[in-house]
Structure 1
Amino acid sequence: MSARLPGAAGWCLLGLLVLLWPAAAPGTPADTELKFPLTIPYALLGDLAWQTREGEAPTELVDAPCRRLQIDRSGLDLRDNELYLVSRVETQLGVSLFGFCIKPIHWRGSVDVLLEPYIDAEWQLRFRLGRTELRDPQGKPATLLNLIGRLIRPFISRRTEQFGFDLGAPREQITELLSKMVEPEDLAELQSVLANLRPGTPRVATRGVLVEAQLTLPGGFAARLLPPGQADDTGLTGTRLTQLQLERLDAFIVAVVKLLGQEIADPALRRQLLALLLESRYRLVEILGDDGPFEQEPVRSLFVSDWERLRNLLLDVDPGTIAHSRLLRYATFLNAGDTLLALDAALPQLALWISRDGLRFALHELAPAGPAPGLEYGYAVDPVLRELFELPPEPPPLPPEKSIEQPGEVEPPADEAPPEPDREEDTLNSPDNPALRLPLWARLLDLLVPTAEAATGVPDRVSELQHALGRRMPRQNELTGYAAQVAELLKEIGRHELATRDLGEAHNAVFLDLLPATALMESCWRQFKREDGKITYLVSSAGAVGMMQVNLRVWRGLYDVERLKWEVAYNARAGAQILLRYLEGPGLDVVRQTGNPEYLALASYAAYNAGPAGARRFLRKSGELKPGPADRKLLAHYKGFASGGIADLARCVVTQPAEW
């Protein structure tokens, strides 16, 4: 019985150590010694064990008429840095006399046999049997029943002798990668180099069986290797090259998240996948906004960090939730990525890890049967990604006639008196339009029947407010009416998003007050600005746009970037969905960890501002509060809205009605 990964190695690398041996003589290129700590996950060694399937009888061993042993199930168990095959058994032992069993002993418990790994001459991982231990149902040693151990050992020995896990296949992946970087006349030497790939002594580790494989690259051979084809990198240096590499890495992570997200059923692991994507993108934005200098090459550092998280995530997949063939494919994928890192550590000048060929090589191992996932970096909405993030359907775009202000329209000076509304559209767009200040009964009715309105084609309140706000910038004397409209817009959107959740009244109240506070922090409730006398959308140096300052690089593929720029309601809805995601995720995590519900608003905004990893930035390691200036300002806004305050957009603060 031989377990082998389809097409490539069935192991994965959990670490990389590359040593450069000194040159034999001055001027002679040094050999490069690669050391690969290879880990074969225990989930891939399942053929050593056996399980009784539903409807099947337990495996029964009969040594004599009075000696029977039934094996219900078995599995691998790591204890004190030793690997055991643990079998749950039921036995009958007695003396056979004239066809009768005299005084049979019945016993239930476990038989634990130590497994000692070794590698044979054919690069097959195999196991020898060590000592045998018997334990009763309570796990206590049962030393007086060694006959049971002697009865089961031959059966286990036959099973382990038939088991072999192929470790010879790493040659295939390394050959495929290196063959892309040598001239045709060097292929024969490449085969000679690969013949030196050799295994070390295996040992038991936390994640699986660890084998240190080694490969020596002669100095002269390594010097003749060529960078893989990446024509789009030609001539690029500095910031532009960094941006291209970051975008390629982000496209790679997106492809991996989409492939795995559609296969992994575990909700916790899927959330970790999505968190990995978002946190990688927040780091991408941080790198692009940092002029350096960096202690380490930032893009490579991000790739290694992302890859380590991805590796750990895949090794945590419960083998009982996926097909064995899929588990093998995941291990092959990890091996491919780790091979990229091993070669990059030895040959950093080739930048193999971030090359288009290298990343496509790794992706092919994850999806060998289908078309190769693309590595294009774009901003179009990705329906698969939106579905993985469980985002609701996109609201329909505004009809052309409702785009009341066009990009580039000249804005009158701030001190100019507003024109008298002599046209219907002017009246509709006026912040003081009485139709936009509905009485209480009308607002309540609107909350009760939003579905009916949508079904009949009657514009809902959010659409009406979007139409009223348009792409206008309020003048000083229009701020009060504008603020009232934005406040209502944020409240309507907030209530709509909460209708899809079951957070409880207390958490709902936090969100409804935190949403306007966040918008006030991010933009002072403004979607647009005046630039060279024309109206354009607000955009930060990091690429965040609009009222909620949604970062286009972080949320690309999940939202329509043009609508984020030009539709205030769309921008507000996207920001509300993001904020709510962080409130019910990292925000509530901080509350559970600290036991302090008052931290929910701060933690949620911290994640909104800096990504999931930033949710605890306002806390010391001890858990004590240490808010920065932004945190204190956010808290003031939040408490102001929670106590019934309203936004003063002239000063970008929250005031109580009595102050007006």
Structure 2
Amino acid sequence: MLSLTRPVVPVRKGFVLPLFLSWSGQFCAVSLFIVWQLGLETSAEDFASPVAAEVSTKTTEVAVPLRLDYPLLQQLLVAELFTQPGVSRELLSDPSACSEIVLSEPVLSPRDTQLEVLADLRAKIGVGANGACATLLSWEGRIGVAGIPETMSNGTSLGFVPEHVWLLSSTGVPVSNDRLLQLAQSSVRSMFSQFTVDLAPQLQSVKTLLPEALPRHSRGQIQALLDTLRLGDLRVTPESLETDILFVVDAASEPLQAELALSNAELARWEERWQLMDSVLVLAVKHYAAATQLQVLRDALLDVLIESRYRLRDALVEAPDAEGDAVRAWFLQSWQALAPVIRRIGLEQPGQEPLLLFSVVASTDALAALDELGPSIGLDISADGLRRLARMINGDAGDALLQYSDEVDPELRSLLEGSLEAASPPSAWRLDFSLFSKAMAATPDSLNSWAPKREDLPEYLPQVAALLEASASTAMAKKNLDPAYEELFRRLVLTTAWQESCWRHYVVSDDRKLVPLRSGTGDVGLMQINERVWRGFYSQQQLRWDIGYNSIAGAEVLLDYLLKYAIRKGEHKQPGGAVNLARASYSAYNGGPSKISRYRSSKASAYGKKVDAAFWEKYQQVAAGDELAVSRCLGGDLSGPAVASRSSSQQTRAPRGGTASQAPEYFTLQLGAFSAEESAASFIATNALAAKARVQRRSKGDTGQYLVIYGSYATRAQADQDKERLAKFQPWVRRFGDL
């Protein structure tokens, strides 16, 4: 796994900073030991300045230990030497086809101070004449080769010098066959001496990135550093083949004095920088998710991205200054979390170039190591540096993919929707909209333009409750939730909306404009969906201006946390039982996936404990049927359920109306026809039509259709007025009697 070992003592002259580069299969994780001569007084770095005076005349050799795990070396060996069918290599070329020596299925491992390769050997020696062969020797067993790894003369490649060759029986017993060994030995030595691992292209990518990240070093200092970069001696250990990346570096230039605050131009560059950082992470997640069909690895990539987005949300709360950059630290930590998942994906893709990941992982780990040196090094992950990383991930297409957009990204959306297998919708929570009094009904557009006053609450709150319940039903229709948890999930959605917004989506601004409810960290609307965390997964425009869309988004996120985290991690098995699932899901909703157990953790922050305690108090009121207690945070004093009591028979029905309750001569608007009842209910919830829309089942041959009908009008003229307002649905004016 990729890990940056952080020193627990100050960096001083001659101190070694460890950062490990290990390979597993096709992967690498870097380990960088930087020996740095620091005799300068450290001070805060200038955030924006690209130039500083050169003050150092001393140099220090930097040793960067590089560990190549044996599965990687074996894969490289196979890719380079065993390219014939069956992972084999023919050593003897006989025009008469009477003789052959074939090696296959090599296994590479350490042997004291050498590397050892064992391979299956099939040998046949014969003579031929006039198209006939006389076999003199036929043998099958194994052959072993041991030798010394070496650094090649070019300083950027690794090689192998065979020193000893031996034979084994198929059971592993040493065999003495001088004739066969003599025939095989010279060709085996020649073959394995051709094995090289060329790291020059990958080292060049690190060389290319460093000038972008060290703006305070002069061009001469940077060039001197790059000119000395080479590989050191090789060492065989039980775990890996180790070497050092060596280079000589000048001591850091004197940092400039910090500015008191960033200018507007600097703030704009800073914002562009963090947006590019987020875009680079998104690019990596999408690129590597497309390289695997294993859902567990795609889930892991998604988890890293979502968790990193929560940390970005927190990092952006504080304005940047010249003494530190929390966003830069966030970016480096995110890559450290992402790299192990990428390496595992590489193991599932044996056809990929084995060293493909070295460039980007080595580069980001090098940046992390430089960051450890503190402000005096002048590390700056520039926009050009980020674009260079994007090219390492996805070639020249990387630049074009670094778009920071508010729109839905189909690839990210697919990752989210595919994180759990969709199943048939549960039957227990399909809201019956006919339970709501038509006297309380408002037009659906009213919820999308309503900042409720105290006197509005008796009318407003039941409609929001209906919307939230419909959203919960819609979310459950897409996921496989155990019916035992359906009631818990409904309460979770209602309570979360209470905790986050007091069931409000809109408020009136100081200049008396209707605006979406928004927090200082970018959370918006009824469910307070964070726009930065869920960028690309949901439309930010719709999150702001469509209460129904916002409601469904929040329900989807909550259900994902309930299924993927709370249930899978067994939170219901902790003291407290099944209700822990709601508490855990909300902790993750508020703080990110890593906070799933915050509600029960003694190490939780005071803020986290306060938030979770407030949620739990509200949840218990919702569970007791006092949903209208939400009114108290809006200045009201209502109590009791937000909707009429739901009998079990009512709970199993989707929003539905019947013509028996309507005069046949009255008119209604048909907004759609669906083959599945849950699809009709989802349409109503998604478009915030709960107040006046219903589902009407109509028989059609041996099957049925589910019509979404809207309103009841005594005259066609009245129906036509709403028809014009609802034109985007292409409504059809119909008589109830015709249905």
* TM above 0.5: yes
From 422, 425, 439, give the equivalent of 2:434.
439
Counterpart-to-counterpart distance in 2, 1:659 and 1:189? 72
Tell me if structure 2 keeps the 8 A contact 1:120–1:126: yes
Map of 1:547 onto structure 2: 526
Deviation at 1:356, TM superposition (A): 0.7
Is 1:572 aligned to 2:551, yes or no?
Answer: yes
Counterpart-to-counterpart distance in 1, 2:500 and 2:213? 49
Counterpart-to-counterpart distance in 2, 1:589 and 1:81? 46
Supply the AA of the counterpart residue of 1:439: S
Supply the AA of the counterpart residue of 2:453: R
Supply the AA of the counterpart residue of 1:649: V
Distance 1:656 1:324, change over 3 A: same
TM-score by length of 2: 0.63
From 572, 575, 582, give the equivalent of 1:601.
582
Counterpart-to-counterpart distance in 1, 2:283 and 2:643? 53
SS at match of 1:264: coil
Is 1:162 aligned to 2:157, yes or no?
Answer: no
Is 1:217 aligned to 2:246, yes or no?
Answer: no
Deviation at 1:163, TM superposition (A): 0.7
Distance 1:44 1:332, change over 3 A: farther
Deviation at 1:193, TM superposition (A): 4.9
Gaps of at least 5 residues in structure 2 are: 1-25, 41-54, 126-133, 420-430, 645-739
Deviation at 1:240, TM superposition (A): 7.0
Map of 2:7 onto structure 1: none
Deviation at 1:604, TM superposition (A): 1.3
Any residues of structure 2 matched to 1:589-628 within 5 Å, and which?
589-591=568-570, 597-620=578-601, 628=609
Tell me if structure 2 keeps the 8 A contact 1:11–1:167: no
Map of 1:316 onto structure 2: 344
Distance 1:659 1:314, change over 3 A: closer
Is 1:355 aligned to 2:355, yes or no?
Answer: no
Deviation at 1:156, TM superposition (A): 5.1
From 120, 127, 150, give the equivalent of 2:160.
127
Deviation at 1:582, TM superposition (A): 1.5
Tell me if structure 2 keeps the 8 A contact 1:582–1:612: yes
Deviation at 1:471, TM superposition (A): 1.6
Per-residue CA deviations over 1:44-97 (Å, capped at 9, x if unaligned) read 65242379999759667899x99998755234457999965353568999xxxx
Distance 1:189 1:553, change over 3 A: closer
Supply the AA of the counterpart residue of 1:609: N
Map of 2:37 onto structure 1: 21
Deviation at 1:212, TM superposition (A): 1.3
Counterpart-to-counterpart distance in 2, 1:212 and 1:491? 61
Residues matched between the structures, number: 563
Is 1:472 aligned to 2:505, yes or no?
Answer: no
Deviation at 1:246, TM superposition (A): 3.0
Counterpart-to-counterpart distance in 2, 1:176 and 1:307? 19
Map of 2:300 onto structure 1: 272
Supply the AA of the counterpart residue of 1:281: R
SS at match of 1:85: strand
From 469, 484, 490, give the equivalent of 1:491.
469
Any residues of structure 2 matched to 1:206-605 within 5 Å, and which?
209-218=241-250, 223=253, 235=263, 243-290=271-318, 297-321=325-349, 323-325=351-353, 327-341=354-368, 353-370=380-397, 372-373=399-400, 375-390=402-417, 438-439=433-434, 466-532=444-510, 533-591=512-570, 597-605=578-586
Per-residue CA deviations over 1:603-626 (Å, capped at 9, x if unaligned) read 211111111111121234899xx9
Tell me if structure 1 keeps the 8 A contact 2:221–2:250: no
Tell me if structure 2 keeps the 8 A contact 1:645–1:656: yes
TM-score by length of 1: 0.70
Deviation at 1:111, TM superposition (A): 6.3
Deviation at 1:573, TM superposition (A): 0.9
Counterpart-to-counterpart distance in 1, 2:87 and 2:394? 38
Any residues of structure 2 matched to 1:151-190 within 5 Å, and which?
157-169=189-201, 172-177=204-209
Supply the AA of the counterpart residue of 1:619: R
Instruction: Point out the more displaced range, 302-311 or 539-548.
Output: 302-311
Counterpart-to-counterpart distance in 1, 2:500 and 2:522? 13
Deviation at 1:546, TM superposition (A): 1.0
Distance 1:273 1:115, change over 3 A: farther
Distance 1:163 1:486, change over 3 A: same
Counterpart-to-counterpart distance in 1, 2:277 and 2:109? 37
Distance 1:373 1:76, change over 3 A: farther
Is 1:49 aligned to 2:78, yes or no?
Answer: yes
Distance 1:201 1:106, change over 3 A: closer
Per-residue CA deviations over 1:139-183 (Å, capped at 9, x if unaligned) read xx9455576996877665443211111133456335534667999
SS at match of 2:628: strand
Deviation at 1:542, TM superposition (A): 1.3
Counterpart-to-counterpart distance in 1, 2:112 and 2:135? 44
Deviation at 1:365, TM superposition (A): 1.7
Tell me if structure 1 keeps the 8 A contact 2:28–2:358: yes
Counterpart-to-counterpart distance in 2, 1:217 and 1:377? 36
Tell me if structure 1 keeps the 8 A contact 2:158–2:197: yes
Gaps of at least 5 residues in structure 1 are: 1-9, 94-98, 227-232, 393-435, 444-462
Distance 1:294 1:589, change over 3 A: farther
Per-residue CA deviations over 1:427-482 (Å, capped at 9, x if unaligned) read xxxxxxxxx99536999xxxxxxxxxxxxxxxxxxx99743523213333432332
SS at match of 1:329: coil
Deviation at 1:369, TM superposition (A): 4.1
Tell me if structure 2 keeps the 8 A contact 1:16–1:35: yes
SS at match of 1:558: coil
SS at match of 1:516: helix
Supply the AA of the counterpart residue of 2:31: G
Supply the AA of the counterpart residue of 1:548: M
Per-residue CA deviations over 1:583-610 (Å, capped at 9, x if unaligned) read 2222223217957654322221111111
Supply the AA of the counterpart residue of 1:43: L
Deviation at 1:372, TM superposition (A): 2.0
Distance 1:353 1:255, change over 3 A: farther
Instruction: Point out the more displaced range, 496-505 or 339-348.
Output: 339-348
SS at match of 1:576: helix
SS at match of 1:503: coil
Tell me if structure 2 keeps the 8 A contact 1:23–1:30: no
Map of 1:646 onto structure 2: 627
Distance 1:516 1:315, change over 3 A: same
Q: What CA RMSD, in Å, does the superposition of the two structures yield over aligned residues? A: 5.1
Tell me if structure 1 keeps the 8 A contact 2:35–2:60: yes
Distance 1:365 1:267, change over 3 A: same
Per-residue CA deviations over 1:19-64 (Å, capped at 9, x if unaligned) read 323679xx7543254332334464365242379999759667899x
Any residues of structure 2 matched to 1:98-109 within 5 Å, and which?
none
Counterpart-to-counterpart distance in 1, 2:456 and 2:596? 36
